[in-house]
Structures are given as C-alpha cells and as structure tokens.
Structure 1
C-alpha cells in the first residue's frame, strides 16, 4: 500500500539524458506515486509563469472544488471569472509514465511550451510542483531569490558530475 499524499516539498535538478529522458527526483517521485497510486506523472503549463506544472492523478478529483473556490473569490472581489477557460487550464494535461528510477520522456510540445531544453529545475509548490528551464527561472524577480540560488547550486553540481563521466 502506498503512503498518503501530503504534497510536494523541496527542489531538485535534472539534466536531459542522451536518451532524451529527465529524472523525477525521489521526493517528488514518491509524492507522485502516492498521488497517482502508481507511476503516472501529469504535466501542463502554468497559467501565469513561463514554466510547467507537475502533479499526480489525484489532482483531477480536486478540480471542481478548486473551481468553486476561485469562482467564489472572483465574485467576492468583483473580478471576472470564466469557469470554462479556467477548467480548460486545470484539466488539460499530459500524462506520462516514469520508471522505478524516475526517468520519463517529456513530450516535445510540452518541452517547447515550458522552454525546457537540456535541463529542468523542479520546485515544490504544495499540492503541485513547477518545472523550470533554469534560464527562465533566473529571469524571475526577487521573490524567487531562494529557488534561483538553489537552482544555480544544483545545476553546477549536476554539470560537474556530467563532465566526470
């Protein structure tokens, strides 16, 4: 029996392998497994940032409640809310399997949408996590100072290990 899904925490870095695979880091891999009751990774675009969003299949069950909360908040603050558009944003995602080591192939069109090239930085965001092209992350403002510093350190480490092989 898998452990209960408690969200995502931390950050990690992965270089794209010669076979075109990225590696979902262990902490994220275990949380996706708990959320999906298996090895199914879901990816989509972020609605505000130039990155991708990752999660497990249990997110599907949360969509209607999330839509209700967002619609109520929009009404309360006098903002427009298009439930159909937001539903499209939340329910259109790609699923892909990953192996026991966390290796997965990211579809080319998703890599293009997220600007993902030869590497990806994983950043937790509670119920989901984000996947960044490091160059795109480095363009973000001061509120991303900690993730940018972590990404730089992890990227240097990964590239140094890659040169040793």
Structure 2
C-alpha cells in the first residue's frame, strides 16, 4: 500500500494555493481521490492533518464505534468531519488551503508537508523545524517500542 513519506516545503501564492508534493498526490489518486482531505489536529501542535480516502474511512469507522448521540462522538465529529476540507487538485497539482486551517497552523507564505504513513501533516516550516528537533531527541526514548514484525512475542530475533 502506498503511504505518505518524506518532508517537502512549498510556497503559498497570494490566492492561498500550494502545490501538494507529487508523491502525496500519487497516494490519494491511487486511492481514488483527485485531491486531499485536511482537518484540524486532535493532538496539540501548530499543524493540520491531511489524508486520502483510505484514512478518512478509518476515521469514519472509529467514529461509528461510538454511540451516535454520545457527546464524545459529536465533539470528535465536529472537529474531524465538520471542520474538514476536501480539496481538489488543479491542473498543476495545487490546492487552496482554507484560511481557517492555515490559521490553526500559523501558515502564511510556505507550508511544510510531512509524511506520517497513512496520513500527513501540514506545518508552518519554522514550527516544524522546532518540533522535529525535539522529536529527534524524544525518538531515542521511544525506540524500544519498535519491534521487528518477525520478532516473536516481546523477545528477540
């Protein structure tokens, strides 16, 4: 399965258009969408989340596990679905980043796209640089969480 990988920084023009990285476009097009889906983050941070239809379906499945009238479902749906934007690529592979989402991330003239596997994030470049410096340091603490798929149980090789 194709996944969102890599880090790319692109300029935003005066109309709010930004080129989505070609590798990211290929993923969503392979999933049947000539565009991307963006939504506010649930984790604290100055970024917006992005995905294609495959991850959007996962979000819908997670929400469907909750009672349809539960306040938790309504809250999560308001953020993940109500404030999401399905953006279509123009002939140059660009989308118009909605002002509300740009404001959440503090994005103005450039956007950094960061692959996260099944989804991606869009950051203000300097904010991402600061986040990444800390993430690189923290990753050392978390590396023991990663296990080879061929490892049996919690053991070795």
TM-score (norm 2): 0.70
CA contact (8 A) 2:7 2:113 kept: yes
Q: Partner residue of 2:58?
A: 62
Work out which of the residue numbers 120, 125, 135 in structure 2 matches 1:143: 135
CA contact (8 A) 1:32 1:41 kept: yes
The 5 A counterparts of 1:3-22 are 6-22=2-18
Question: Structure 1 67/38 Cα, relative in aligned 2: closer, same or farther at 3 Å?
Answer: closer
For structure 2, which runs of at least 5 residues remain unmatched after alignment?
138-157
CA displacement at 1:119 relative to structure 2: 0.2
CA contact (8 A) 1:9 1:125 kept: yes
Query: Which piece of structure 1 moves more, 23-32 or 89-98?
Result: 89-98
Kindly report the root-mean-square deviation, in angstroms, between the aligned alpha carbons of the 2 structures. Answer: 2.4
Question: Structure 1 122/144 Cα, relative in aligned 2: closer, same or farther at 3 Å?
Answer: farther
Residue 17 of structure 1: SS of its match in structure 2? coil
TM-score (norm 1): 0.67
For structure 1, which runs of at least 5 residues remain unmatched after alignment?
72-80, 146-165
Size of the aligned set, in residue pairs, is: 130
CA displacement at 1:144 relative to structure 2: 4.5
CA contact (8 A) 1:40 1:57 kept: no
CA displacement at 1:18 relative to structure 2: 4.4
Which structure carries more helix by proportion?
1
Q: Partner residue of 2:80?
A: 90
Question: Structure 1 90/131 Cα, relative in aligned 2: closer, same or farther at 3 Å?
Answer: same
Question: Structure 1 40/143 Cα, relative in aligned 2: closer, same or farther at 3 Å?
Answer: same
Q: Partner residue of 1:42?
A: 37
**Do structure 1's residue 117 and structure 2's residue 108 form an aligned pair?**
yes
